[in-house]
Amino acid sequence: MSRLKSIGYILLVFGFLFLPSLVTAQENLSVQVKESELRATPSFLGKIVAKVAYGDRVTVSETKGAWKKVSLKGGSPQGWINSSALTAKKIVLQAGQTNVQTGATQNELALAGKGFNNQVESSYMAQNKKLDYNWVNKMETFKVTPDQMSAFLAKGEVVPPEGGAQ
């Protein structure tokens, strides 16, 4: 019995020694889109608290589904960002003779997630030449701010699920 107690004490000591290092291990990621927002809640409808740009390094403190709660250097500001805007690769911007190639835009990421890209669109348009795409092109120019979206949802008494539109 004393041998079991000794092993238990040894495991307990190791646990106290190594637990803090496991708890403080945080994931550091880079922003891979030209620009994105940190939001107050894990939702595309959440209030924007800060903006981040391509190459910015962030530290992840929490994950909820496809959303990560992150902070910039120094711990501030903090906010939620969709993981599609992040990469584990460390992005280093260097001066050169040509522009730095940035990652995909938010629109490109959204379309790619739906399996839609410029090639697919071109192919569809070639196969359906009789269709009028003027209204589609016009709709693509519409910009809706988060405040406008929130007002629209409130007026229609629409309550997004926890986490909002994901």
Task: Domain ranges for the chain, please list them.
Answer: 27-155
- What are the backbone dihedrals phi and psi of residue 7, each rounded to the nearest 5 degrees, phi first? -65, -40
Measured in whole angstroms, the distance separating CA 16 from the mean position of its chain's CA atoms is 34
Banded pLDDT at 118 (limits 50, 70, 90):
confident
Find out whether 105 and 84 touch, Cβ atoms under 8 Å. no
- pTM, two decimals, is 0.55
Q: Which pLDDT score is estimated for 124?
A: 83
The DSSP code for 131 is S
Residue 21: pLDDT above 50?
Answer: no
Fold of the CATH domain 27-155: SH3 type barrels. (2.30.30)
Banded pLDDT at 12 (limits 50, 70, 90):
low
Strands lying side by side in the sheet with 27-31:
48-53, 35-39, 78-82, 67-71, 57-64, 27-31, 86-87
Residue with tokens 């924007």: 48
The span from the CA of 81 to the CA of 131, in Å, is 38
CA trace torsion 51, 53, 59, 64 (10° rounding):
60
Q: Which pLDDT score is estimated for 162?
A: 61
The span from the CA of 166 to the CA of 93, in Å, is 30
Residue 166: pLDDT above 50?
Answer: no
What is the average per-residue pLDDT within 12-36? Answer: 71
